[in-house]
Structure 1
């Protein structure tokens, strides 16, 4: 009965839909992602494994990462291209593998324009992007016409390689999007000026692709539904462009949100789920072809709600298919509670891509590494004890039990989660609740014996073949006079709610934990969950009607409920080690809330007067505070290790117990799963 009810719950999402001359098996697209798998050794094999796994998970259409239609459009010097027919044909095995599993596959055609990190990048006008050091060359009329032809040729190459269609990238601030708005198009010829001229480039691209590839070839156009930059498009212009693209031959309109240079976050955890659905609804109201909603949609419940409300006809999810390639299949089979949910952390997807590494996923280390893991049960089960129920311990126990080992998990607290229970307190990071739900469910499903509220002793670990120490970390208390003063609290005490902070707070330490604590102290909970509150904070028009969908300065100050000052001993910029794709959001959010930062300080002592420091110029200073929060590092919790080794017990330390870094769930889960695979 439960499975039937769940299938009925997602009836719209799982229902077929007609797009062009194709009938899709459901309404879910795996959106395009840069993976860098094409730069890896055995790249075709790795891409086959990656895409085929998601086709087995029953996504209706899989869209590849972006292929440039010519040499000028590559995102970086190693960026993939599809302008060579012979190179394109090498992709045929990927298409065949996906199609054998019942899904369609489309190649995304992406010309990076002024975002291309190469000499000689091009744009409608010679205006440098703030996120690229190269100044683009203004395209001539001949350049523009050649590029239109290049898009058509690239689509034909994709068709010859076996792709079912293409997605033409017309959003996120790439070349096509640059032509459509005055923010980047200052031309006065037939390709600039009024909206009709600015829309000419994308319309002619779509028309050329349709003429070259024929009526049966699927064309998705990704339209910018909210530019989130000054000089961006008004909703009336977006609707007009959508109608022109439909008339030119597109079968589906996918919606993109925000330019890469926008100062408004669009896909990271601080953005509420479903925050952009009304932008898709604006596009849907303008056309009759299917319109796709995207960005911060990570559960089947939300996808179904967007579809049944009429805000969109289809749903595009990219990172959720990294977290769980079988997202749709599990929903269809009534196992939605077993979906490993994307938490929008960006740590192993976007941050890896920006550091020239192949994509993966914090909650699913297999993503992008499918050829490195096995699913066959072990032929020699062992009796395994896992000590510690945080991220590393849960991942080890769940994976080892799934592979057939006899696993007992000891956790000193009365609940699983460990440091995740602290991390989830930061605004937006309660997405970690999904990770806790998933791993708890897997632990129960695969028969792990749980010993909650039991701190494992030596006698408890007798008789096990292998003991895994995953006991995590404890906050490090600095050797500082007055560190035990009543005003002092650890980050763990603050984030857990054990201690309440006063109105004036000093945060000692400006790393990842320090930033999370500061945001926890100044941000209202509603901002992480309510789209209207989010829009108000970041200056976004909740109706997505005005130019660029901006109604204010995204960096305008917003009064805080507390006065918070962060301090660090280093002279470097606070938060220098934060994630590439999320650090700027966190730094800007704290700046908006008036959080100050002092760097290069020397801590001297704490007493009733406050925190005594030396400034970087040697000047002594006393800062009064109601609460002083220690974010001064962690110590590994390694109790039992020496005694177990002395008894010749096979012991492995993982996660924070092995290395006390920041709260590093990415490393913890990866080590846990890989250890279980190696047993």
Structure 2
């Protein structure tokens, strides 16, 4: 459009060093897009770690993580088409293995299909676009809407199986956890179950913050509208204000729900978020009047709401729904009875915290090791 004389790229080259070459050759659909997460680049830098990239674990490790042709091609089944499974399948195929990937859902993506619903995380669509194209280029056989059993795998010709079946939300032992007003985060983000106007979110990790962000918004997210986004953060796009910000009052749309974000720990809510992005998430929720509370001890859930003590003081939160974001457990039932050599990756391996950075790196490395 002639909007710029020069374009500067930094993080996008970590995501894909061939960005410019692919664009120049008309292969934009093959570009691995930076999702702006900072998790493996800036967060690593400010923690004294080697820089890399969540969507491209080979960044800065190109001489260590090598994708080379194998001398022993195998038939490989990858079960689960989330981030870990997609990384494993595409990498194994690039190494020369014959790969088939299975998923019980109707589209690839796994937990990324949940995350992309959250305002500000729309770039996850781009990561799935990239992996979808890589599956095509690597000639990976994709079988969606397909739930595989151990018996079927045992009777197959596969030499090895990579299990990337993900996680299931953990439900804490709170009295009344089976009350109708209790939902888990998948109920909200994936299955779109109705949520009332007053909500308590139990668990203030990354998922709890994402769910809270999702609940206070309605309509098109400001992250998809530059003018609205700048107004929300108090930036004067006309540059009449000094520095574009002096004296500019943020214009934040009213939240559509009254949300409590709760955690058991007595530390600052959101202390475990990204080093360079945690403050953004906290500031965003604060602007939406989300009440972030620590040192919570949950007693029970009933028709009155959520009974708890905060710093030892008894309270009842009169809420329409209680949404559980209190961790997850690995889904690895497929291992029982499986006689083929197998590898657990992603959430099926470790589900302590949903970690796409670890999942994609692990999937890549396991595929190279076959």
TM-score normalised per structure 1 = 0.53
**Whole-angstrom distance in 1 between the partners of 2:27 and 2:252:** 44
Question: Shift in Å at residue 339 of structure 1?
Answer: 0.4
| Matching residue within 187, 206, 226 for 1:531 | 226
Once structures 1 and 2 are overlaid, which stretch shifts more, 417-426 or 489-498? 489-498
Q: Which residue of 2 aligns with 1:428?
A: 120
CA contact (8 A) 1:475 1:634 kept: yes
Post-superposition offset of 1:433: 0.5
CA shift at 1:445, angstroms?
A: 1.5
Deviation by residue 1:388-443 (Cα, 9 ceiling, x = unmatched): 11000010001101111011111111111111111111111110001111111111
Counterpart of 2:71 in 1: which secondary structure?
coil
1:553 positional shift: 5.7
CA contact (8 A) 2:151 2:337 kept: no
- Equivalent residue in structure 2 for 1:574, among 269, 285, 292: 269
Deviation at 1:558, TM superposition (A): 5.3
Residues 1:677 and 2:365 aligned together: no
- 1 CA distance for matches of 2:187 and 2:110? 13
In structure 1, the residue matched to 2:140 is 448
- In the TM superposition, 1:540-555 aligns within 5 A as 540-550=235-245, 552=247
Q: 2:195 matched to 1:501?
A: yes
Partners of 1:388 and 1:469 within 8 A in 2:
yes
CA distance in 1, matches of 2:306, 2:202: 10
Structure 1, unmatched stretches of 5+, are 1-307
- Structure 1 position 641, deviation (Å): 1.2
Alignment of 1:255-654 (within 5 A): 308-309=1-2, 311-462=3-154, 463-524=157-218, 525-550=220-245, 552=247, 559-617=254-312, 619-644=313-338, 647=339, 649-654=340-345
Preserved contact between residue 201 and residue 323 of structure 2 (Cα < 8 Å): yes
**Range with greater deviation from structure 2 (391-400 or 476-485):** 476-485
1:469-522 Cα shifts (integer Å, max 9, x gaps): 111111111122211211111111111242122111110111110011111111
Instruction: Say if 2:354 is the partner of 1:663.
Output: yes
Count of aligned residue pairs for this structure pair: 367
Shift in Å, 1:529:
1.0
Deviation of the 1:552 alpha carbon: 4.4
Match of 2:273, SS state, is coil
Q: Using the TM superposition, give the Cα deviation of residue 559 of structure 1 relative to its aligned residue in structure 2, in angstroms.
A: 2.6
User: Are the counterparts in 1 of residues 204 and 269 from structure 2 also a CA contact under 8 Å?
Assistant: yes
Encode CA deviations 1:88-113: one digit per residue, 9 max, x unaligned.
xxxxxxxxxxxxxxxxxxxxxxxxxx
Q: Check whether the contact 1:565–1:595 (CA below 8 A) recurs between aligned residues.
A: yes
Hey, what's the Cα distance between the residues in 1 that align with 2:315 and 2:162?
47
Shift of 1:467: 0.8
Whether contact under 8 Å (1:472, 1:657) holds in the other structure is yes
In structure 2, distance between residues paired with 1:498 and 1:518: 14
Larger radius of gyration: 1
Does 1 or 2 have the higher relative contact order (CA < 8 Å, sep 6+)? Answer: 2
Contact 1:540 1:552 in 2 (8 A): no
Contact 2:241/2:248 (<8 A) preserved: no
Structure 2, gaps ≥5 residues long: none
Report the Cα distance in structure 1 between the residues aligned to 2:337 and 2:261, rounded to whole angstroms: 40
Cα offsets for 1:328-350 (capped at 9, x unmatched): 11112121100000110110000
When the two chains are superposed, the root-mean-square deviation of aligned CA atoms in Å is 1.5
Structure 1 residue 526: deviation in Å? Answer: 3.1
CA distance in 1, matches of 2:33, 2:285: 27
